[in-house]
Amino acid sequence: MTHTNPDILLQVRDLRISFRLDRKTSVEAVKGVSFDVPRNSTVALVGESGSGKSVSSLAVMGLLPVDTTIIHPGSSARFDGRELFDLPLAQRRALCGKDIAMIFQEPMSSLNPVFTVGFQVGEVLRRHMGMNRRQARARTLELLDEVGIPDPLVKIDAYPSQMSGGQQQRVMIAMAIACEPKLLIADEPTTALDVTIQKQIMELIASLQKKHQMAVLFITHDLGLVGEIADRVIVMRHGEVREEGAAAQVFAAPRDAYTRALLHCRPKLDQRPLRLPVIDDYLGGRFLPDEQLPQRTRGSAPGDEPVLVVKNLAKSFFVADGLFRKREFKAVKDVSFTLARGKTLGVVGESGSGKTTVGLSLLRLHRATGGSALFDGRDILAMPDREYQAYKRRIQIIFQNPYASLNPRFTVGQILLEPMRIHRIGANDAERIGMAHELLKRVGLPEQAFQRYPHEFSGGQRQRIAIARCLTMKPEILVCDESVSALDVSVQAQVLNLLQDLQDEFGMSYIFISHDLSVVKYIADQVMVMHHGSVVEMADSDELYRNPQHAYTRSLLAAIPRGA
């Protein structure tokens, strides 16, 4: 009989998980992982994509696909003294949802779009707590209020699409705590959220953990984030535990080179190295201490040559308001700025601030309702479509989601050749293929990638393909719309280094849109802060971070996670 420490709520031992690729081939994703989650504590499971952290938590929840998953003999996950892998399916389902609950990474894909949020929270209560509809609705209102949803009486009958990302995530948390679970698993619950909403969600989870005396298993790729919430940290890589210890100890004196690399890859507010260190630098011993890294200077100068002058840009959307009326929503209001050649303008703000709408309007993917954008003295917003065709090459965009922005039916070669053919770049296909191979090399991808499809690449590699596609046009202006927000910190560092190299070599100008203020501080010369469609502050990067003038800017900076 296995002895169980009564202070340990979840005990995972020698967990080994493989996935079948076909009848003869399988790949081992988790390789003998062991860890404990004590009662009434917060344990952080940290690692990059592919480290096995989410797979381990899904195994605990019993949510891995049965037909392709192999949980090897000897693997153990004991919850409150019960072996989860031995439980019958009915008992496992009763346990997971009531005593063990999970918050998933993407609330919009986890919430059912055709049911109201009140129905979905109430369903948990009816299924696991035996409440009738009236009791479930009353308890749902209490839960929505507890997680900070404004106007619960109104929002209980709202659909997920009628709520912001932060509110959707709060609904997911309400569903998770509805049955007052003993263990809450939070799988990357703040990855896609703004820095202020991220801070609110972190504080909410921490307060709920104390109020309900829960244990929390917090899964993330960002070590800086968990320093503010976790009691213990477990660092994983390639399906193995690389380091484990008290959060304060791991942050103060990490023992493993990989842990040190994760801590140092993320841009710091007080430093701007010439190149961000990456994982391989640390694991290969090719790194310098922070104080010895060559630094890069940023900022604007009076002699900077303007490449784009935007004046009084406005964009409104019109939504139905009754049968015959339309209501105007002003997404962008009177935005003006000057982008210098070879420099980077960072655009920051929360979701709904209008920062992405500015970028899409400049590319005429949205039709601006006012203002001008002078590119080489010509207003690209007012010129006819035929005349604008020549300017499409010169201003390009890297979208946020590399999984959605690449055609899955095209090979990488077709993705790169198509824009060159449309814009008649290169004398013939042979010359274009040569240019495409050179671009792949330039963004750090092998020549063999030319024949492969997007699904065969990681997220970071797909973003490199998207960058290579933009470079086929040899643009002068590149709009980066949250282009590194979904990437692991090490891959993020690689992409930021690549963007900097390309700017140094080709003199491109960037409009860098992001809610990650640490990244913007690193890459931007000037920063424009947007709130509710308006510019509330603009200044050189160092000056804005050192001496913010607007209260909203100060609130954004105060929300940046600074680790332990």
Q: What CATH number does the domain containing 241 carry?
A: 3.40.50.300
Chunk the chain into consecutive blocks of 10 residues (it has 564) and report each block's average pLDDT, rounded to whole numbers. 74 95 88 95 90 92 90 94 91 89 81 94 93 95 90 91 82 91 90 77 88 92 81 94 93 89 82 83 72 79 91 90 81 95 93 88 94 94 91 89 85 94 90 93 87 84 88 91 79 86 91 89 94 94 93 89 61
Residue 375 has phi, psi (to 5 degrees) of -115, 110
Q: Which pLDDT does position 563 carry in this prediction?
A: 58
Enter the tokens of residue 218. Answer: 């917090």
Q: Which pLDDT does position 461 carry in this prediction?
A: 85
Q: How far apart are CA 430 and CA 424, in angstroms?
A: 13
Instruction: Single out the residue of 309, 282, 305 nearest to residue 293, CA to CA.
Output: 282
Q: Assess whether 192 and 87 both reside in one domain.
A: yes
Residue 11 has phi, psi (to 5 degrees) of -125, 110
Q: Is the CB of residue 228 less than 8 Å from the CB of residue 218?
A: no
Q: Assess whether 188 and 74 both reside in one domain.
A: yes
Q: Which pLDDT does position 288 carry in this prediction?
A: 66
Q: Which helix (H) or strand (E) holds 528?
A: strand 526-531
> DSSP class of residue 137?
H
> DSSP class of residue 524?
-
Give the SS3 label for residue 9.
Answer: strand
Q: Assess whether 33 and 171 both reside in one domain.
A: no
Q: Assess whether 185 and 203 both reside in one domain.
A: yes
Residue after which a domain boundary falls, among 145, 178, 211: 178
Gyration radius from the chain CA atoms: 25
Q: Which residues of 59-97 are buried (b: 16+ CB within 10 A; e: fewer)?
A: bbbbebeeeebebeeebbbbbbeeebeebeeeebeebbb
Q: Which pLDDT does position 1 carry in this prediction?
A: 45
Q: How far apart are CA 286 and CA 247, in angstroms?
A: 26
Q: How far apart are CA 536 and CA 3, in angstroms?
A: 60
Q: Is the CB of residue 400 less than 8 Å from the CB of residue 483?
A: yes
What are the angstrom distances between the C-alpha of 119 and each of 130, 136, 153?
A: 15, 9, 13
Which residue spans within 369-508 are E strands per DSSP?
370-375, 378-379, 395-398, 477-481
Domain that holds residue 143: 114-178
By the 10 Å C-beta count (0-12 exposed, 13-18 middle, 19+ buried), 314 is classed as: middle
Q: Which helix (H) or strand (E) holds 175?
A: helix 165-177
Q: How far apart are CA 233 and CA 247, in angstroms?
A: 5
Q: Assess whether 27 and 172 both reside in one domain.
A: no
Q: Amino acid identity, residue 427?
A: A
Q: Which pLDDT does position 4 carry in this prediction?
A: 62
Q: Assess whether 221 and 172 both reside in one domain.
A: no
Instruction: Examine residue 144 and state whether it is found in any structural domain, yes or no.
Output: yes
The contacts of residue 101 (CB under 8 Å, 6+ apart) are: 175, 176, 177, 178, 179, 181, 183, 184, 185
Q: Which residues of 479-514 are buried (b: 16+ CB within 10 A; e: fewer)?
A: bbbbbbbbbbbbbbbbbbbbbbebbeeeebbbbbbb
Q: Assess whether 213 and 86 both reside in one domain.
A: yes
Instruction: Examine residue 438 and state whether it is found in any structural domain, yes or no.
Output: no
Instruction: Examine residue 367 and state whether it is found in any structural domain, yes or no.
Output: no
Instruction: Examine residue 245 and state whether it is found in any structural domain, yes or no.
Output: yes
- The total domain count for the chain is 2
- Size of the chain in residues: 564
Q: Assess whether 222 and 249 both reside in one domain.
A: yes
Asked whether the whole model's pTM tops 0.85, one would answer no
Q: How far apart are CA 365 and CA 368, in angstroms?
A: 9
Q: Assess whether 215 and 174 both reside in one domain.
A: no
Report how far Cα 351 is from the mean position of its chain's Cα atoms: 13
Instruction: Examine residue 25 and state whether it is found in any structural domain, yes or no.
Output: yes
Instruction: Examine residue 389 and state whether it is found in any structural domain, yes or no.
Output: no
Report how far Cα 229 is from the mean position of its chain's Cα atoms: 19
Helix axes 165-177, 117-129, angle to 10 degrees: 10
The contacts of residue 326 (CB under 8 Å, 6+ apart) are: 318, 319, 320
> DSSP class of residue 52?
S
Q: How far apart are CA 299 and CA 278, in angstroms?
A: 25
Enter the tokens of residue 502. Answer: 């390309």
Instruction: Examine residue 27 and state whether it is found in any structural domain, yes or no.
Output: yes
Residue after which a domain boundary falls, among 133, 153, 178: 178
Instruction: Examine residue 371 and state whether it is found in any structural domain, yes or no.
Output: no
Residue after which a domain boundary falls, among 237, 255, 273: 255
- How far apart, in Å, do the first and last CA atoms of the chain sit? 39
Q: How far apart are CA 192 and CA 482, in angstroms?
A: 10
Q: Assess whether 186 and 80 both reside in one domain.
A: yes
Q: For tokens 């790169």, what's the residue?
A: 416
Q: Assess whether 26 and 134 both reside in one domain.
A: no
Q: Assess whether 161 and 195 both reside in one domain.
A: no
